[in-house]
Structures are given as C-alpha cells and as structure tokens.
Amino acid sequence: MRNKIKIAVIVAAVAAAALAFGQSRQQAQTQVETAGHKYKNIKVLNDMPADQLGRVMNLWSASLGVDCNFCHNTKDFSLDEKKEKSTAREMVKMMMAINKGNFNGRPRVTCNSCHNGHNEPRSTPNLDVVAEDEERPKQPDPKPSADQIFDRYIAALGGKEKVDKVTSRVITATRTERDGKEMEKETLYFEPGKYALQTVYPKTTVTEVYNGTEAIKFAQQPLHLRPDEQEMIKREAVTFSPAALRAAYTKLDFGGLDKLNGRMVNVLVGTTAANMREVLYFDADTGLLLRLQSSSQTMFGRFPIQVDYLDYKAFGGVKIPTTIRYAMPNIMWTRRVLSVKNNVPIDQSVYKPTAGN
C-alpha cells in the first residue's frame, strides 16, 4: 500500500513539474522582447517593447518639430555625446512620473502636451486671434446606415456593375517623400483578395504583399511586421474594392455628420477582426471616400496613421483616387497614379516576393 502511495506521489510530482515546465516554456515563447534587451545603451525605456521604439521616436520627433539628429549621432545612435539626449531622458522620466502619479500610468501627458511642435515648451499663451471652433453640423434624422453610405460610395465610383467587372488592376505610380525631392517608381497589383506593391529605391526594391492569408514585407530579406503594420497592408489590399473594404470591419457604426477641409462628411467608425479601430470619412455630397484614420497604441500614447484619397478619376468607367497622401508622426509621402490597366493578367509570382524580385 505504501509503495502505491509513493508511486502516486511521484507521478503527481512529475506531472506537476511537466506542467510547470510547459507553462514556463510557453511564457518564454510569448515573452515580448524589450528595448533594453535589444538595443544598446537604453537607460529609461528598458521595459518598453522593442517594436515600439521606432514609433515612439517618431512621436517625440513630431512633438518637438525636430529630426533624429537633434538628440542623436545618427552614425551611432547609442552614443551619449549630445546634451539634448540627456535632457530628453530627464523629460521622459518627468512625464512618466506625472502619468504614474496622476493618471494611473496611462499616457495622458505626452511630449506634445507642452511642446506642441516646438523644441522649447511654450510658457506663455498665444495672443494671436484664434478662430472659434465651428459648431458641429446639424445631424441627419434618421441617421444613414453604414450600408447606405457604402452603397453611395459604390455608386459614386461608377456603380456596382462596373465595379464588379474589374477583376484585376495594375497601377504605375510615383512616391514623393516629405521633402518633395525624392521620387520612387511604384507598381501596384490588385486581384480579389490579393495585393502587391513594389517600390524601387536607388539601392533596393521594397515589396509588400497580401496573398489572401498573410501580409508580408520584403527588402532583400523578409521584414518583421507588427500587427498594426499587417493591418495597414491588408487595408491597402482593399483600397479599390469597396465590398472588400466593407467586409474588413466586424462592426461599423455611423459616427455623425462632420466637416473635413471645408466639406461635409459622413463619418463611419469601424472595428476590424483584429480589434483595431478605424475611422472613415465619406464626402456627404459626392459619396466618395476622402480619408481613413487608424492608430496603434504605444507606451507613450497612440501612434496615428492618416490616409487621404484625392483627385478621383475614371479608368474604364470606374473612379479611383489618383493622389493618395499618407501621414504619420514625422513620416509623410504622396502616391501619384500615372497609369491604370484594368482586367489584365497578373503573374502570380508578384505575390511571392523573393530576393530576386
């Protein structure tokens, strides 16, 4: 009897050890790599997820109206030779202490709260005449549904029959960077559930793909993509397919009638399958999609992304925006469409990027 009890205890102990090992192994596999572990000479942001560092640096750059070289030696970012870098560390400590002491650690106070685009905080109020905020437009009654707004959008593009006839699309375009000087050649490929973009830079070609199941980015080798970057590529894949764009949202609600650049817009607030919130602005007069906004969370606030769709023109009876402006903190570029070919065969290898293409 005693031997049986001993065997039972041993078996239970082994099972518990195996369970503990499995749990610790799973935790190790899901553990997020921190900035302090991945990068050299991190002194304040040690516990921040490493994949947030780029977005946080861009948030701070935009908040102060400066570039990387304001704080860093851009040949070796780990060096501490600039006084501004030490000052920035102290400011970040102060900001984190304010949020911890007053907002339960939530990033309610950010660099932009005081700097607002200037490298020195403004300590006195602006005495220039500031235009009063316009009253919100009178809201429609009854409110239009999301499906009604999308139906108008499809009609504005040329109608469902014409839109459905476009089964593939190849677009050539140029990408102009924020300084207005650099211009890269781009080729975009669209098929139902598939998308590829090739941007030709002087030294390399960057390819991003959605093959129907996963989003991929490639520049000589595969690039790691955060969930929000994957969602952005998926959204690009349905830019010119209103039905697919509508299907991208598990929830889509009317957010009201508002104004955007002087035009009345119907606002839709959507939630994706990945639980990301996006806001779409449709011209209340023409029905066309004018803007899409999304954001991703960082340790120091939300990182906003904005895409504006402008200059709609018809190709084969179906309108598409021929100017698309992308904006996020400290990063901006504009795509200008040069040519559009509808219903042309597409080599399926474009959806399988390799080192050779």
Segment 203-231, tens digit of pLDDT: 889 999 999 889 999 988 888 888 888 88
The pLDDT confidence band at residue 357, using thresholds 50, 70 and 90, is low
Asked whether the predicted pLDDT for residue 2 surpasses 50, the reply is no
Please tell me what DSSP assigns to residue 131.
P
Asked whether the predicted pLDDT for residue 21 surpasses 50, the reply is no
Q: Do domains 35-114 and 146-351 have the same CATH topology?
A: no
Tokens coding 106: 């939530």
Asked whether the predicted pLDDT for residue 128 surpasses 50, the reply is yes
CA-nearest of 222, 209, 229, 207 to 294 is: 229
- The residues with which 258 forms a beta bridge, in sequence order, are 265
- Sorted by where each begins, the domain ranges of the chain are 1-30, 35-114, 146-351
Angle at 253 between CA 248 and CA 256, to 5 degrees: 130
Asked whether the predicted pLDDT for residue 253 surpasses 50, the reply is yes
pLDDT score of 228: 85
Beta carbons of 218 and 206 less than 8 angstroms apart: yes
Share above pLDDT 70 across residues of the chain, in percent, rounded to a whole number:
89
Asked whether the predicted pLDDT for residue 323 surpasses 90, the reply is yes
35-114 in CATH: which number?
A: 1.10.468.10
Mean pLDDT of 326-334: 94
The pLDDT confidence band at residue 130, using thresholds 50, 70 and 90, is low
User: Of all helices (H) and strands (E), which one includes residue 47?
Assistant: none
Beta carbons of 209 and 351 less than 8 angstroms apart: yes
Give the CATH architecture of domain 146-351: Clam (2.50)
Tokens coding 6: 């001993």
